[in-house]
């Protein structure tokens, strides 16, 4: 399916600089970002947005600059791009919680209303907005809106009118809809998974906006949706079947006729009509070129269908393989408990296998506020003996009794100085305890890290900040599929993706889809 966008207002989008004009353009930046797992029964509330993903909750106004400018996120790129291209930035609202279930409509409306109100009010001082850059995830779903990201753009467009340029950025896992392509002036997504290019995409968005405002380009964009599901296991853009199409998008962007070429892999745990991979091509006033190249790259994805066959070990087999290895550490990707994808963060299938198979020298992090509270009450060196994990729902295993000692207690805050998945710098796990479980030796400790918050494993400093060093372990567990690789590949002798159960199980056959058009 090919979707083209022809805007009757296109010429009005351009804001020419009058010879006597000296004021710099003002561009708003803001966004409501959420990756909604419709198979996760826990709804996303306004309070979840206030907690945030790493260490930030909802940021407003100038606080957005302070919160993001030192990181490597999309917003950090927009901030740097504004300075590079000579326009003033008007920060509005930035909100993004951990991935959970459906966003409650009252939370969505409250955030949307605030974003729109800030945009309508504008920067003040007699200055008017010249454009808007919206940093959206591309996979948000509410009870009323199957593609809530498009609804955000629709409300902004309705409030500000058809003439103002709106450049939208999306995550690599975006489920792009026809509506959002129609409503936006230009849409771009991350190119890399793990997401190491978030800041680059912010810079790119700022560059496109600057060229629009200078009257240099007239964006036209086309969307093509290949007829398949592209499983997350195969969405690694550094190797594997998707790499060729992504590389082709990068090649095309070197051609001045193209403003942006995006090949998002989609997000398979959002049961909506737009679920699946997409190709979005933005050209400089050449619709036919956009349509042709979107279809051509889309066909490249379709041609890889025969390479998308799952063949992953279950938890028991994965642990056996890791134990038999001669090079360490081996990292096990707990794909069914992919925290970044909206899982519980307290799956116990691998923990159960470690204990059952008497593995040695392993590490696993589990979100369990109850266990954390007990550990803090016991204190360092206290005897720990209680069920851990498996408390969120019935999809992620049963609670597993862990016996051992409280090795250390932490506030759970850490900083990631390198560019890692998503580009976040500041993290907060909440109060955190390190439990040295039974069977540990001085050389090969068995470590359960219990955290108050669910924090997806995008940083090795999640371990190091608590005195756990990967080089001294034999087996590490990262609750994810592709995202943790940026942090874990440099310290791992091998990585094994595990076909574990959970709300992010990579096998689509584990789920009942009702609205998605393609589920294989």
* 350 within a domain of the structure (yes/no): yes
Both 272 and 343 in one domain: the answer is no
Whole-Å CA distances, 67 to 57, 70, 85, 258, 428: 10, 8, 21, 32, 14
Return the CATH number at 175: 3.40.50.2300
Inter-residue contact 72 to 202 (CB < 8 Å):
no
Which one of 290, 307, 324 terminates a domain? 307
Both 134 and 64 in one domain: the answer is yes
Which one of 273, 290, 307 terminates a domain? 307
Q: In the predicted model, is pLDDT for residue 435 greater than 90?
A: yes
Q: In the predicted model, is pLDDT for residue 393 greater than 60?
A: yes
* 406 within a domain of the structure (yes/no): yes
CA distance 419 to 352: 33
Range of the domain at 381: 315-498
pLDDT in tens, 123-160: 999 999 999 999 999 999 999 999 999 999 999 999 99
pLDDT classification of 423: cutoffs 50, 70, 90: low
Mean pLDDT of the region 118-124: 96
pLDDT classification of 6: cutoffs 50, 70, 90: very low
Which one of 307, 341, 363 terminates a domain? 307
pLDDT in tens, 229-281: 999 999 999 989 999 999 999 999 999 999 999 999 999 999 999 999 999 99
Both 333 and 213 in one domain: the answer is no
Q: What is the CA radius of gyration of the chain?
A: 23
CA distance 88 to 124: 13
* 474 within a domain of the structure (yes/no): yes
Both 283 and 339 in one domain: the answer is no
* 1 within a domain of the structure (yes/no): no
Quick check: bond before 194 cis, omega within 30?
Answer: yes
Both 473 and 438 in one domain: the answer is yes
The H or E element containing residue 94 is strand 88-95
Domain count, the chain: 2
Our measurement of the distance from residue 18's CA atom to the centroid of its chain's CA atoms, rounded to an integer in Å, reads: 41
Q: In the predicted model, is pLDDT for residue 428 greater than 70?
A: yes
Q: In the predicted model, is pLDDT for residue 2 greater than 60?
A: no
Locus of tokens 């560059």 = 207
Both 71 and 53 in one domain: the answer is yes
Both 292 and 342 in one domain: the answer is no
Phi (first) and psi of residue 150, to 5 degrees: -65, -35
| pLDDT given for residue 416 in this prediction | 83
Both 248 and 320 in one domain: the answer is no
Backbone angle region of 430, left / alpha / beta, with phi > 0 → left and psi within -120 to 50 → alpha: left
Both 246 and 360 in one domain: the answer is no
| pLDDT given for residue 1 in this prediction | 52
Backbone angle region of 21, left / alpha / beta, with phi > 0 → left and psi within -120 to 50 → alpha: beta
Mean pLDDT of the region 199-203: 97
pLDDT in tens, 61-113: 999 999 899 888 999 999 999 999 999 999 999 999 888 899 999 999 999 99
Phi (first) and psi of residue 191, to 5 degrees: -105, -15
* 5 within a domain of the structure (yes/no): no
pLDDT classification of 327: cutoffs 50, 70, 90: very high
* 2 within a domain of the structure (yes/no): no
CA distance 505 to 512: 12
3-state secondary structure of 481: coil
Locus of tokens 């779903």 = 141
| pLDDT given for residue 72 in this prediction | 87
Q: In the predicted model, is pLDDT for residue 293 greater than 60?
A: yes
| pLDDT given for residue 196 in this prediction | 85
| pLDDT given for residue 11 in this prediction | 27
Strand-by-strand arrangement of the 362-367 sheet:
383-388, 400-410, 432-437, 447-451, 362-367, 475-478, 330-334, 494-498
| pLDDT given for residue 20 in this prediction | 39
Inter-residue contact 89 to 129 (CB < 8 Å):
no
- Farthest-apart Cα atoms in the chain, separation: 77
pLDDT in tens, 221-231: 999 999 999 99
* 146 within a domain of the structure (yes/no): yes
- Which residues on adjacent β-strands are paired with residue 168? 134, 187
Both 174 and 41 in one domain: the answer is yes
Both 161 and 268 in one domain: the answer is yes
Both 227 and 250 in one domain: the answer is yes
* 18 within a domain of the structure (yes/no): no
Our measurement of the distance from residue 44's CA atom to the centroid of its chain's CA atoms, rounded to an integer in Å, reads: 16
């Amino acid at each position: 399916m090919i979707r083209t966008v022809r805007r009757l207002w296109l010429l009005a989008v351009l804001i020419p600089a009058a010879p006597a004009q000296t004021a710099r353009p003002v561009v708003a930046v803001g966004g409501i970002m959420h990756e909604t797992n419709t198979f996760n029964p826990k709804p996303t509330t306004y309070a979840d947005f206030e907690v945030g993903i790493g260490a930030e909750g909802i940021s407003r106004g100038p606080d957005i600059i302070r919160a993001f400018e030192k990181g490597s996120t999309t917003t950090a790129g927009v901030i740097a791009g504004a300075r590079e291209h000579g326009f003033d930035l008007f920060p509005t609202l930035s909100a993004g919680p951990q991935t959970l279930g459906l966003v409650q409509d009252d939370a969505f409306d409250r955030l949307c209303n605030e974003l729109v109100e800030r945009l309508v009010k504008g920067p003040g001082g007699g200055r008017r907005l010249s454009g808007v850059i919206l940093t959206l995830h591309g996979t948000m779903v509410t009870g009323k809106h199957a593609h809530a990201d498009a609804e955000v753009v629709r409300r902004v467009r309705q409030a500000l009118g058809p003439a103002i340029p709106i450049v939208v950025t999306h995550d690599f896992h975006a489920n792009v809809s026809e509506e959002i392509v129609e409503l936006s002036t230009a849409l771009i997504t991350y190119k890399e998974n793990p997401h190491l290019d978030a800041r680059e995409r912010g810079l790119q968005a700022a560059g496109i906006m600057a060229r629009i405002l200078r009257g240099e380009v007239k964006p036209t964009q086309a969307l093509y949706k290949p007829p398949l599901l592209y499983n997350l296991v195969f969405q690694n853009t550094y190797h594997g079947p998707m790499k060729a199409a992504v590389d082709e998008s990068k090649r095309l962007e070197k051609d001045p006729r193209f403003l942006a070429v995006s090949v998002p892999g989609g997000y398979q745990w959002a049961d909506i009509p737009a679920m699946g991979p997409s190709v979005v091509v933005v050209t400089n006033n050449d619709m036919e070129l956009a349509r042709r190249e979107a279809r051509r790259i889309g066909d490249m994805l379709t041609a890889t269908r025969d390479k998308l066959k799952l063949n992953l070990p279950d938890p028991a087999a994965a642990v056996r393989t890791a134990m038999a290895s001669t090079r360490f550490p081996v990292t096990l990707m707990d794909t069914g408990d992919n925290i970044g994808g909206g899982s519980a963060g307290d799956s116990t299938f691998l923990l159960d296998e470690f204990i059952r198979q008497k593995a040695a020298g392993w590490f696993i992090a589990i979100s369990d506020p109850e266990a954390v509270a007990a550990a803090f009450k016991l204190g360092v060196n206290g005897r720990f003996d209680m069920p851990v994990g498996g408390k969120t729902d019935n999809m992620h295993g049963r609670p597993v009794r862990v016996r051992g000692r409280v090795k250390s207690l932490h506030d759970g805050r850490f900083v990631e100085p390198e560019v890692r998945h998503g580009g976040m710098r500041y993290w907060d796990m909440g109060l955190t305890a390190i439990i040295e479980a039974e069977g540990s030796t001085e050389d090969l400790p068995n470590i359960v890290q219990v955290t108050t918050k669910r924090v997806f494993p995008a940083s090795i400093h999640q371990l190091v900040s608590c005195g756990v060093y990967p080089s001294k372990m034999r087996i590490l567990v990262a609750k994810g599929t592709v995202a943790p690789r940026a942090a874990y590949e440099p310290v791992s002798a091998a990585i094994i993706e595990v076909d574990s159960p959970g709300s992010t199980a990579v096998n689509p056959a584990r789920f009942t889809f009702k609205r998605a058009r393609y589920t294989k």
